């Protein structure tokens, strides 16, 4: 048997390539990943096994050598854990330094670095930012999503990161939930199908050397909590829970998703991180999930009052790797976790078989992905981060995601040679608002958050004729001569924990801007940047044309593609659009008597004569 140790020796003498040249097939290739994992497992001490089960946030690792000291299996960067100079080159250097520590351990097991690349490689300056999932959901285009996630995967791998905590396959049922934009839509079928497309994009057809490990999240019921409360409780019987929140994982499992993240939320009052029935019996045994389960950010700490008991409960429930954001001296931290887990095993509270199962799952994925042979960043990929070819795919996603809700008198498409085109609303020239949460910062932020990218205003300037004057008046005070007015309104950036809202009325200031534009007598097209449908009130009537643009990301030219008619609008609502705040939960439409303002599947387009035409797909996704 050509086992791991022998291989390391061969590698250090450069013999692997030589043997490969002689058509020698070493056993660590993909087909034998699980037997390789077994062979390696047989050599591991308990400390080495425990280390593989630990994932620490880079900000908590004050000393990188702790990767070596504790045999850590994984490091992550959470939403805000970026290096000071947030460039691709710095990221590559950082992840390579962590990897170098892992490769100095006795068994030289490489680590997997993970990030929340949830709409492109969104922590990194200069990366291409794609529309958030809600916009991708509006494309209803699985092939396009697969291509988009392949681009994202290449950007991720270009910084030495081989694991993305994506796709989110939440079925958001209540738009009060601040993570609604991370959900492809309100139907489990749509979410299941598009989630699997994203998995194929990130990983490829099988887990291999070009894969970025996908992580379907958050299992399960995250989008069904009462009142849309983040990390709340989803209350329903098991049949409903399975149909709505568990079945969307099936297509991703079929597509070979290598990891799944467990959710913060509870189901009928029981925290998912302690739910052995759903994690082990349903997900692993019944559904045949072969990858590994990772916990969410310090989520096991919420199980009870005693950390040791939390550890036992979560690992016995089926968690394989634990995400730990705290370092020594910071509360429940990785050193404490490691010591406690060891005690629990020694005391017989967690069986060695359970530990072996967890570690075998993690190692198998690492072998499948070829990180043993290839632990370093590919510099060719680093160079392609933010490239024009990558941006072109994101631009395509943007134009396919726009949902035209109204187009009175065929106001759209606009002519490129209008004399005076006015643009209102500061969001028109703000990359931060255009991208939303999970962009550079955890919560995202207003302003020009990153280099590269094109705001809508910049895209407009590129599109219009040389005779056209663009009047940019953020507060709408200078609109007199306009032939047409584009008003850009919406939600400021937010992310988990901070985005829950009970009142989803369009902000009064935004409604005023639209009214002010309309008062000039010029036709008004309103563009809405938002993570969810908002209650539009009079503003829909006031606007001659209205586009839901979601959170489109860095490629503003995808919007001008449609505004000027180079491409027809193709997006269709991935969820119903409410009339008012009483309809924010999808259950509000369960009664046949109630219908939303716009049903799922609604979206107008331009026909050959540029006449508005309605898609006939309203019944598709309830």
The site for ligand BGC (CB under 6 A) is made up of 78-81, 116, 165, 217, 296-297, 442, 496
| Other CB atoms within 10 A of residue 205 CB | 9
Nearer to ligand BGC by Cβ, of 80 and 352: the residue is 80
CA distance 185 to 132: 11
Using CB atoms within 10 Å of the CB of residue 565, give its burial: 0 to 12 exposed, 13 to 18 middle, 19+ buried: middle
- What span, in angstroms and rounded, lies between the C-alpha atoms of 68 and 105? 6
Q: Can you tell me the distance from the alpha carbon of 283 to that of 278, in angstroms, rounded to the nearest whole number?
A: 6
Query: Can 296 be counted among the known catalytic residues?
Result: yes
Nearer to ligand BGC, 167 or 558 (CB): 167
Cα(247)–Cα(188) distance, integer angstroms: 7
> Could you count the other beta carbons within 10 Å of the beta carbon of residue 509?
10
* DSSP result, 533-555: --B-THHHHH-SEEEEEE---SB
Closest-CB residue for ligand BGC?
78
At 67, is the secondary structure helix, strand, or coil? helix
Give 137's strand partners.
none
Q: What SS3 state is found at 610?
A: coil
116 or 149: CB nearest ligand BGC:
116
> Which distant-in-sequence residues (6+ apart) come within 8 Å of 209 by Cβ?
369, 370, 373, 374
CA dist 35 and 28 (Å) reads 8
Q: How far is the CB of 97 from ligand BGC (least distance, A)?
A: 20
**With respect to ligand BGC, which residue has the nearer C-beta, 413 or 436?**
436
Contact predicate 78/145, CB 8 Å: no
Residue whose tokens read 């269709």: 572
Strand-pairing partners, residue 55, are: 74, 323
Torsion of CA 133, 138, 140, 141, to 10 degrees: -70
Whether residue 221 contacts residue 234, with contact meaning beta carbons closer than 8 Å, is answered with yes
CA distance 437 to 356: 38
What six digits make up the tokens of 400?
Answer: 């396919």
Look up 496 and say whether it is catalytic.
yes
Identity of the residue, 76 or 194, whose beta carbon is nearer to ligand BGC in the bound complex: 76
What does DSSP assign to residue 439?
B
Tell me which of 146, 296, 400, 510 is the catalytic residue. Answer: 296
Reference 136, options 149, 151, 125, 122; nearest CA is 149
CA distances from 157 to 92, 153, 202, 375, 395 (A): 9, 6, 10, 11, 21
Please list the residues that pair with 535 across neighbouring strands: 505
φ, ψ of residue 613 to 5 degrees: the values are -140, 140
Minimum CB distance to ligand BGC, residue 77 (Å): 8
With contact defined as beta carbons under 8 Å apart, do 72 and 65 qualify? no
Structure tokens at 70: 């504790």
Cα 95–chain centre separation:
20
Distance (Å, whole) CA 237 – CA 224: 12
**Residue from 324, 348, 346, 345 nearest 335 by CA:** 324
CA angle 248, 252, 254 (to 5 degrees): 115
Tokens standing for 542?
């006031």
Burial zone of 158 (CB within 10 Å; 0-12 exposed, 13-18 middle, 19+ buried):
buried
Please, are residues 528 and 535 in contact by the beta-carbon 8 Å criterion? no
- 396, 496, 557, 561: the catalytic one is 496
What are phi and psi for residue 438, nearest 5 degrees?
50, 45
Active site residues per annotation: 296, 496
């Amino acid at each position: 048997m050509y086992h791991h140790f022998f291989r390391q020796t061969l590698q250090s003498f450069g013999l692997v390539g030589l043997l490969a040249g002689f058509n020698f097939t070493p056993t660590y290739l993909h087909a034998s990943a699980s037997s390789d994992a077994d062979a390696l497992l047989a050599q591991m001490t308990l400390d080495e096994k425990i280390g593989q089960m630990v994932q620490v946030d880079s900000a908590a690792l004050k000393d990188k050598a702790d990767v070596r000291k504790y045999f850590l299996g994984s490091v992550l960067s959470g939403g805000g854990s970026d290096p000071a100079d947030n460039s691709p080159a710095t990221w590559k250097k950082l992840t390579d330094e962590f990897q170098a520590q892992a490769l100095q351990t006795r068994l030289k097991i490489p680590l997997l670095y993970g990030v929340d690349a949830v709409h492109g490689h969104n922590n990194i300056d200069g990366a291409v930012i794609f529309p958030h999932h809600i916009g991708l959901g509006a494309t209803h285009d699985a092939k396009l999503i697969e291509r988009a996630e392949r681009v994202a995967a290449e950007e991720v791998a270009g910084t030495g990161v081989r694991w993305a905590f994506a796709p989110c396959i939440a079925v958001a049922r209540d738009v009060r939930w601040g993570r609604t934009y991370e959900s492809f839509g309100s139907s489990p079928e749509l979410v299941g199908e598009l989630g699997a497309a994203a998995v194929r994009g990130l990983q490829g057809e099988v887990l291999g050397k070009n894969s970025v490990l996908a992580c379907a999240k958050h299992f399960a019921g995250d989008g069904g909590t009462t009142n849309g409360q983040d990390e709340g409780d989803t209350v329903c019987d098991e049949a409903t829970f399975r149909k709505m929140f568990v079945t969307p994982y099936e297509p991703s499992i079929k597509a070979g998703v290598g990891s799944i993240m467990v959710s913060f939320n509870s189901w009928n009052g029981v925290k998912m991180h302690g739910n052995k029935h759903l994690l082990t019996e349903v997900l692993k045994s019944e559904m045949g999930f072969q990858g590994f389960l990772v916990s969410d950010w310090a989520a096991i700490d919420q199980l009870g009052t005693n950390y040791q008991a939390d550890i036992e409960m979560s690992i016995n429930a089926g968690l394989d790797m634990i995400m730990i954001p705290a370092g020594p001296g910071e509360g429940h931290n990785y050193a404490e976790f490691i010591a406690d887990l060891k005690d629990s095993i020694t005391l017989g509270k967690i069986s060695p078989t359970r530990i072996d199962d967890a570690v075998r799952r993690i190692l198998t994925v690492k072998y499948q992905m070829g990180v043993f042979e290839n632990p370093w960043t590919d510099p060719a990929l680093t160079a392609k981060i933010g490239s024009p070819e990558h941006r072109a795919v994101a631009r395509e996603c943007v134009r396919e995601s726009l949902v035209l809700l109204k187009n009175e008198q065929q106001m759209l498409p606009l002519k490129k040679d209008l004399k005076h085109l006015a643009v209102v609303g500061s969001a028109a020239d703000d990359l931060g608002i255009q991208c939303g949460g999970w962009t550079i910062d955890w919560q995202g932020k207003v302003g020009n958050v990153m280099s590269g990218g094109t705001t809508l205003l910049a895209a407009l300037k590129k599109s219009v004729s040389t005779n056209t004057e663009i009047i940019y008046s953020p507060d709408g005070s200078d609109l007199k001569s306009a032939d047409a007015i584009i008003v850009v309104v919406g939600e400021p950036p937010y992310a988990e924990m901070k985005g829950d809202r009970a009142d989803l009325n369009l902000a009064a200031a935004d409604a005023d801007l639209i009214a002010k534009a309309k008062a000039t007598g010029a036709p008004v097209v309103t563009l809405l940047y938002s993570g969810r449908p908002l209650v539009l009130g009079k503003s829909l009537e006031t606007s001659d044309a209205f586009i839901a643009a979601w959170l489109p990301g860095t490629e503003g030219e995808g919007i001008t593609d449609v505004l000027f008619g180079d491409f027809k609008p193709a997006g269709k609502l991935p969820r119903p659009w409410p009339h008012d705040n009483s309809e924010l939960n999808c259950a509000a439409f369960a009664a046949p008597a109630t219908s939303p303002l716009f049903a799922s599947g609604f979206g107008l387009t331009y026909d050959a004569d540029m006449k508005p035409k309605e898609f006939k797909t309203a019944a598709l996704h309830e």
